[in-house]
């Protein structure tokens, strides 16, 4: 599809300075974007990512391994890739593999495909989308562990996984991943500005995962599996959602964390999508002439 599209109107999500409704109240049946998380980004971050990937010096070795880039089973290779690229040590002491759709979500709830119990369960986990997140943030995320208490995101572990599973079964992989990133937005210091190489490595790892998501396999009843495809639109939205979670465009009041239209279109172009345009402004009803009969 070519030509110029209209940018959807959106309600700005205030992250994370205002109370939020429990995540279970978030509609997951939206045919379009979820929570408008896709509208964010940093011009510099996107430009740096594109420039880095174009540098042959950073592509000296094939790090895809058996399972491929952006997969949990490739975590050791991913740590090596990031360490070489950023000139620092990336290991289990600094970063951990973040399943953007957790394994408990992927396996389903009928008791089949218990983690590590069979070759099929291990395969399903290894091909799942994952990236290297900074260890303290990964440990603090509501999807890590089985916390019953709701955190500032409005989720506990059960409700978070339930919302992700609903999005997955509806075929909205992008929405499920955006929910994962929304969980990070409410973690203390996640939005703090930092030039630490470990922080840049986590962002790069996430973007690499997004670039290589073509589909996601998940369990159904009796240990069978299904595959949900991922569109270019979803990949663009997932990439932008990381920047929303980072709060790169929040103003001094912690609001309006969305990017310029030029940034959104830059990311859309990267994923082979047409540009979007701002919707026309609606006339001010108070200023409209009235008629009498």
Residuewise pLDDT in 10s, the chain (293 residues): 445 565 554 333 344 433 333 444 343 333 344 444 444 334 444 444 445 544 555 454 788 888 999 999 999 999 999 999 999 999 999 999 999 999 999 998 787 899 989 999 999 999 999 999 999 999 999 999 999 999 999 999 999 999 999 999 999 999 999 999 999 999 999 998 889 999 999 999 999 999 999 999 999 988 899 999 999 999 999 999 999 999 999 887 777 678 889 999 999 999 999 999 987 666 665 555 555 54
In a domain, 183, yes or no: yes
pLDDT confidence of residue 30: 37
Q: CB within 8 A of 74, min separation 6: which ones?
A: 63, 64, 65, 66, 67, 68
In a domain, 9, yes or no: yes
pLDDT confidence of residue 286: 56
* Strand ranges inside 43-105, DSSP E: 95-99
pLDDT confidence of residue 208: 98
In a domain, 293, yes or no: no
Q: CB within 8 A of 77, min separation 6: which ones?
A: 63, 64, 65
In a domain, 264, yes or no: yes
- Using alpha carbons, list the distances in angstroms from residue 290 to 63, 281, 283, 284, 286: 67, 20, 13, 12, 9
- Using alpha carbons, list the distances in angstroms from residue 11 to 8, 142, 201, 266: 10, 25, 31, 22
Residue 116, number of CB atoms within 10 A of its CB? 9
Rounded to whole angstroms, the Cα distance separating 232 from 90 reads 30
Rounded to whole angstroms, the Cα distance separating 6 from 32 reads 13
Locate 20 and state its tokens. Answer: 């939020």
The total number of structural domains in the chain stands at 1
Three-state DSSP class for residue 51: helix
In a domain, 283, yes or no: no
pLDDT confidence of residue 88: 95
In a domain, 289, yes or no: no
**Distance from CA of residue 147 to its chain's centroid?**
21
Output the pTM of the full model: 0.77
What's the chain's length in residues?
A: 293
Taking the alpha carbons of 147, 33, 97, 50 in that order, is the dihedral positive or negative? negative
In a domain, 271, yes or no: yes
pLDDT confidence of residue 65: 82
Domain residues for 209? 5-278
Q: For residue 182, which of 6, 8, 5, 23 has the smallest C-alpha distance?
A: 23
In a domain, 39, yes or no: yes
Q: For residue 235, which of 203, 258, 267, 274 has the smallest C-alpha distance?
A: 267
């Amino acid at each position: 599809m070519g030509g110029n599209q209209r940018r959807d109107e959106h309600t700005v999500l205030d992250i994370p300075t205002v109370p939020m409704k429990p995540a279970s109240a978030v509609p997951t049946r939206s045919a379009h974007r979820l929570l408008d998380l896709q509208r964010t980004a940093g011009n510099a971050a996107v430009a740096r990512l594109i420039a880095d990937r174009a540098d042959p010096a950073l592509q000296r070795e094939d790090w895809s391994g058996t399972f491929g880039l952006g997969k949990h089973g490739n975590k050791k290779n991913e740590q090596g890739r990031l360490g070489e690229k950023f000139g620092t040590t990336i290991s289990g002491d600094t970063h951990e593999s973040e399943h953007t759709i957790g394994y408990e979500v992927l396996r389903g709830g009928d008791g089949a495909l218990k983690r590590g119990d069979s070759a099929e369960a291990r395969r399903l986990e290894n091909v799942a989308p994952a990236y290297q997140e900074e260890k303290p943030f990964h440990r603090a995320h509501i999807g890590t562990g089985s916390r019953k208490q709701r955190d500032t995101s409005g989720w506990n572990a059960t409700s978070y996984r339930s919302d992700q599973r609903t999005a997955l079964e509806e075929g909205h992989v992008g929405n499920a991943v955006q929910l994962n990133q929304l969980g990070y937005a409410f973690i203390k210091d996640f939005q703090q500005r930092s030039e630490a190489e470990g922080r840049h490595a986590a962002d790069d790892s996430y973007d690499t995962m997004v670039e290589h998501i073509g589909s996601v396999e998940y369990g159904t009843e009796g240990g069978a599996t299904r595959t949900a495809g991922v569109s270019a639109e979803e990949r663009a939205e997932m990439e932008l959602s990381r920047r929303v979670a980072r709060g790169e465009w929040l103003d001094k009041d912690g609001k309006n964390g969305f990017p310029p239209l030029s940034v959104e279109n830059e990311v859309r172009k990267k994923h082979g999508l047409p540009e979007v345009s701002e919707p026309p402004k609606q006339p001010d009803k108070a200023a409209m002439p009235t008629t009498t009969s």
